[in-house]
Amino acid sequence: MCTSLLYFDAANRPYLGRTLELSIELPYQISVFPEALALGSKPEGYLPLSWQTRFPFIAITMPAAVPEPDHVPGAGDLKVIEGMNSAGLTFSVQSYAAAGGPDAESDPSRTALSAADLGSFVLGQFTSVEEVKQALADLEILVERVPILGGLKMPFHYSVHDATGKSIVIEFHHGVRTIYENPVGVMTNAPQFSWHLTNLNNYTFLTNVDHSKATFGTYEAVQSGAGIAKAGLPVTDTSVDRFIRAAFYAQFAEKQTDPEKSVQMIAHIMNNFDRPRGVTVDYPDQGSGHLQVQGNESDKVPTEFTSWTSLSDLERRKFFLRDSGGMNFAEFDVGALGDTVKTFTSKPMAKVLPKPFNLTATFS
């Protein structure tokens, strides 16, 4: 499962944090899509849709199908899971098992976009949430079956944020598409996004103010330390509880004045959603299809864990990433990449990101 949230600093500049959790490790790629790259989408039974990137972007990607041996995946093979373009627009894919609906009747006279290509379509062409909404208003988008997921329909929903801090959620619920305004900038997984907003009404009592003293009869009770304000936060790692915690941290974390400090702050916030292996496990006799995608059962004892965490500085167009092999973030300047990378380039995440440094020699 996944958690994403927007944090705003003292100058109201937005920063996006996002974690990705699954019970399996996948061969993620870090991909750079340059300006003026020809891309396309061809859902079965429809005319192909093609476009050319107006903005370079960096993305964490995965192939839609298991690659053939010795095949080097190209820009059209890799699908965007998380990314940011040089205009400060971000796109996030998060698990949502209820997305798929009945198979749509094909119309060979119409163009359509596969939901698998939504990330490259959005990041390659647009600068703002409003532009994305206008572009999608009359566009047919199909939730197709994905070979690498065993033929399941795309079990995801999607978040888009822009450099002004505006946010939307693109959600397919049993095949019906809805685009929601996202006033809290937070997204997790099921239920529907509108349900999560309604559920926030049950938490109006939340505050970051510690009430550390109380009187009972003539007895003066005093807390032994700080932190009692968090007592009302839900504690589990379900998507429902994570949504509430993410909204709390985004609202109350101290507003920094310096962008570098703000990146550090969003990193600290996202540490609260980092899941070590084994903290929760699901035995096969109770079913495990709910873990990542509905219908993907396992006969082993799976545990969800955080595969990677990304941070996006939307105003400065900087993207930060770490995987489960280390706690240090690698930094990517999206604007600089756009100036220097002129052809599509993709590298395995496991080979690019830094591992912990051994600094023993510095004290010798």
Residue 327 tokens read as 């706690």
CATH number at residue 23: 3.60.60.10
Q: What angle do CA 349, 246, 226 make, to 5 degrees?
A: 115
| Assigned domain for 153 exists | yes
In a domain, 228, yes or no: no
- Flag the least confident range among 131-140, 295-304, 319-328: 295-304
For 338, what's the count of Cα atoms within 13 Å in the CB-facing half-sphere? 23
Query: Distance (Å, rounded) from C-alpha 152 to C-alpha 156?
Result: 11
In a domain, 275, yes or no: yes
Mean pLDDT (whole number) for 312-334:
96
pLDDT of residue 289: 57
Quote the pLDDT of residue 343: 96
Tens of pLDDT, residue by residue over 25-43, are: 888 999 999 999 999 999 9
Predicted local confidence at residue 294, as pLDDT: 47
Domain count, the chain: 1
- Expressed as residue numbers, the domain containing 352 is 2-204+237-363
Average pLDDT over residues 134-144: 95
Residue 171 lies in a domain: yes
Mean pLDDT over residues 273-292, rounded? 77
Does a structural domain hold residue 217?
no
The model carries a pTM of 0.94
Count Cβ atoms within 10 A of the Cβ of residue 292 and give its class: 0-12 exposed, 13-18 middle, 19 or more buried: buried
Highest mean pLDDT among 60-74, 83-97, 102-116, 297-311: 83-97
Which residues have C-beta within 8 Å of that of residue 185, sequence separation ≥ 6?
5, 6, 14, 161, 165, 167, 250
Q: Give the Å distances, CA to CA, from 289 to 155, 181, 284.
A: 12, 29, 9
What is the separation, in whole angstroms, between the first and last Cα of the chain? 44
pLDDT at 291: 53
**Lowest-pLDDT choice from 14-18, 137-141, 146-150, 160-164:** 146-150
209 occurs within a structural domain: no
Contact 309, 321 (CB under 8 A): yes
Question: What is the residue type of 343?
Answer: T
Buried b (16+ CB within 10 A) or exposed e, 50-72: ebebbbbbbbbbbbbeeeeeeee
Q: Which two tokens stand for residue 48?
A: 């192909």
Q: Flag whether 210 is in a domain.
A: no
Q: How does residue 298 score in pLDDT terms, banded at 50, 70 and 90?
A: low
- Whether the link from the prior residue into 234 is cis, omega within 30° of 0, is no
Has residue 225 been placed in a domain? no
Tens digits of per-residue pLDDT, 66-90?
777 777 889 999 999 999 999 999 9
Q: Is the pLDDT of residue 167 over 70?
A: yes
As a whole number of angstroms, the distance between CA 156 and CA 153 comes to 9
Closest CA to 20 of 96, 105, 95, 121: 95
